[in-house]
Structure 1
Amino acid sequence: MKNMDILLDEFMIYCESKNLSKKTMMSYEQTLRLFFNYLNEEKKIVNLSSISEKIIREYIIYIKDRGKYTVVGDKNSLKINKPEIRNDYGKKVSLTTVNNYIRNIKVFFNYLKDQNYIKKDIVKNIKQFKNDRKPKGFISDEQMSELLRHIDTTKFHEYRDYIIIQLLLDTGMRISESLAIKVTDLDLNYRSIFLTAENTKGKKNRYVYFSQIMQRGLKRWLQYKDRYVESELLFCTSKGTQLLIRTFEKKLRDYGKRISLNDICPHQLRNNFAKRFLMCGGNIYTLSKILGHSSVKVTESAYLDLTDADIRKNYQNFSPLENMNLKNKR
C-alpha cells in the first residue's frame, strides 16, 4: 500500500482530470487531511490497509462530538488564525458539515476500490445523518425595496452592487457566476446571459434570462461603467479588476444591517429567486435548468422551501374548478 499522502495526491489529480471545481477539490483535500491526522495521532495508523469500517465510524463520532475549529489539519495554522478567539469556537459541529465529511471520505474510498488499492468496500454501510434542513430566510417585497433604497447609487461601487443584487434575484445565478460575466456574454436584445463552463459549478455552458426591468437597469449600468472604467467585465472594481466574492458578500451584509436585515447573503437571493419562480407558476424542471443543477432531485432538496401558506396561496391561482368554464358555476 502506498503512502497516504501519495494516495491523496493521486486522488486529487484524478479529481482534477474529472474537471471538478476548485471548491469541491478543496473540500475533499481538507476533509482527508483532517482524517489522516486523526489516524496518525489518535490511532497510530500510517497505512490505509489498516483502516476498517469501525475506525471510520469512530472518526465520524469524534468529529461530531468535537467542537468547531478544535480539529485542524495543520497545527502551525493555530498561531496565525487563532481560532480560539472566534465567537463560535468549540460550538457543536453542524450535521451538514459532518455529512460533508462522510460524503468526501466515501468518495475517496470508492476511488481506492475502483483503482484496486483496496479490495473491500468499507464505506458501503456508512450513511449520512438525517438532517432536517431549515428553510432559508425569505426576503419580502418590502424588505427588498427598503434594501435597494438604502444603497447609494451615486457611488460607483454601491451602484454596481445595486445592479448585482437585482440581477441575482432576477436570474438565480450564483455570485461566482455573476462576477465572472464579461460584457460580451450579455445579450440585451434577447435578455440573456451566456455563462461559460469554466465559470459554472457544473462545468457546463448555460444561459440565464432576465426581465425587461433588468434590461433597462443593465443598459444604464453599462453606460455609467463605461464612462469611468475600461474593463471587459460586466461588474468590476473602480480600477477595472475583478470583484472578489468575499468583498461583495461583506458589502451585502453591510447593506442588510442598514435596514436590520441581518446575515443576508448572495445565496439567499438565489434561493428567493427559486421560491418566487415556483410561486409564480414556474415548473421545477425549468427551474432546475436555469439554476444549473445536475438533476431535479438536487433542486428539490436544496430549494423547495415552500411553506403551507405558500402552497395555499399558490393553489388558489391554479385550482382546477376555479379555472374550468363550468355552466353551473355561480
Structure 2
Amino acid sequence: MARAYIGGRGQAATKSTSFVDVEEYTIDEALETFILSKEAEGVRSRTIEEYRHYKRYLKMFLEEYQYKVNLINGLSAKIICEYIIYLKQTKKAYEGIANREKESAGLSVNTSNIRLRTLKTMCNFGFKEGIIQTNPVSNIKLVRDDEQKEVQGLNDEVLNKLLSQFDTREYAQWRDKVLILLLLDTGMRINKAVNLQVSHIDLKLLTIHIPSETAKNRKGRDVSITREVGKLLQELHMEISNYFGDCEYVFFNAYGEPFTADAFRRRLNRKNDKMG
C-alpha cells in the first residue's frame, strides 16, 4: 500500500492536511479483477478460462526474462513491446502440450494479436477503473501481417483421400468420419459440433439448432444439414444409446465419456501425418 501526501505546496502539515491511501495492485490482482468483472457480466466460462491462460502466458514471459515486476504499474510499454517480439520470434506454439508442440519458434500473427488484444482490453479496463495509473498499451499497435496469407481450402481430391482413410467398422473411426461430414455440411465450429445434443437435431426439417447461449454472437440460429448427414447422426446416437443407455449428446469416446474438441484434433492430426 503506497501513501500519498495531499496538501498545499510548501505548506507545513496542519489539521487540514490529509493522507490518502492509494492501493497498489499486483499484476495478478489487477488482471484477476478484470476477469472477475467479466464473470459478473455473464461472459462464457470458456472465455474466462482463456483470459486466465493469457494472464499465465504474460507471467511466464516476465519470469523467463527475469523482469522483477510485481505491481501492475510496473508494466511499461517497453516491456509489452518486448513481449510482442517474444511472441513473434521466440514462443513456440502449443509449448508443453504433448504431440502438438511446434518445432519452429514464433507464433502466427493472428495468435500474437489475440493475446495482445486481450492484454490491451485488460489494461484499458484497469486504467478506466483507476487500477493502473498510466496505461502502458495506449500507443501499442497490433502486429501487422505484410504477407496477408490466404487460408487454403481442401479440394475434393484431398477430402476424398482423407475420408477414405477411416475404417467405419471401428466405432472411433466411424464417429470421426461422421463428425468431419457434419463440419463440412454445416460449417459448425468443432467445439459446438462435439457438444451437439440430440434434442437440437430436427430430422423432419433437416436442421440443427444452435442455442443463443452457446453461439459466439449470442444469437440462436438453425443450420441446415443434408439427409445423409442427418441419418448418420441418428445412427451414431442409436449406437451410443445401445451401449451406454439414453444419451443426451451425439459424440462420445469409446468409454461413454463426452468426446472433446482437443481429442478430435489430435486424432485428425495423426491422420494428417499418416497421409503426409
Give TM-score scaled by structure 1 length. 0.64
* Larger relative helix fraction: 1
For 1:38 and 1:228, the matched residues in 2 are separated by 47
Task: Work out whether residues 86 and 106 of structure 2, in 8 Å CA contact, stay in contact via their aligned partners in 1.
Answer: no
- The structure whose RCO (Cα within 8 Å, separation 6+) is larger is 1
Q: Identity of paired residues, percent? A: 27
Q: Distance in 2 between matches of 1:200 and 1:100?
A: 19
User: Among 248, 258, 274, which residue is 1:232 paired with?
Assistant: 248
CA contact (8 A) 2:87 2:106 kept: no
- Return the offset for 1:128: 0.8
Q: Separation in 1 of the partners of 2:155 and 2:61?
A: 46
CA apart distance, 1:191 = 1.0
The answer as to 2:211 corresponding to 1:211 is no
Task: Give 1:159's match in structure 2, choosing from 169, 174, 180.
Answer: 174
Cα pair distance change 1:251/1:12, threshold 3 Å: same
Q: Which runs of 5+ in 1 are unaligned?
A: 73-80, 263-330
The Cα of 1:201 is off from its aligned counterpart by 3.8
Amino acid at match of 1:179: V
Between 111-120 and 194-203, report the one with greater CA deviation: 194-203
Tell me, what secondary structure is at the counterpart of 2:222? strand
Cα shift at 1:249: 1.6
Q: Which residue of 1 aligns with 2:21?
A: none
Q: Which has the higher strand share?
A: 2
Superposition deviation, residue 82 in structure 1? 9.7
RMSD: 3.0
Match of 2:30, SS?
helix
| Partner amino acid, structure 1, of 2:92 | K
Q: Give the Cα–Cα distance (whole angstroms) in 2 for the partners of residues 220 and 104 of structure 1.
A: 42
Asked if the contact 1:31/1:101 (under 8 Å) is kept, the reply is yes
1:32 to 21, 34, 55: 55
Deviation track 1:233-254 (CA, whole Å, cap 9, x = no partner) reads 1122233321122222222233
Matches within 5 A, 1:1-330: 1-36=24-59, 42-68=66-92, 81=96, 88=103, 91-131=105-145, 132-230=147-245, 231-258=247-274, 260=275, 262=276
How far 1:38 sits from its partner (Å)?
Answer: 5.2
Aligned to 2:5: none
Match of 2:20 in 1: none
Q: Deviations over 1:133-157 (max 9, x none)?
A: 4333322212222322331112222
Amino acid across the alignment from 1:118: I
Could you tell me the TM-score, scaled by structure 2's length?
A: 0.75
The count of aligned residue pairs is 247
Contact in 1 for aligned 2:197/2:249 (Cα 8 Å):
yes
How far the C-alpha of 1:52 sits from its partner, in A, is 3.4
CA contact (8 A) 1:39 1:46 kept: no
Q: What SS does structure 2 have at the residue aligned with 1:113? A: helix
Amino acid at match of 2:266: K
Asked whether the equivalents of residues 61 and 83 of structure 2 are also in contact (C-alpha less than 8 Å), the reply is yes
Q: How many angstroms does 1:59 deviate by? A: 3.4
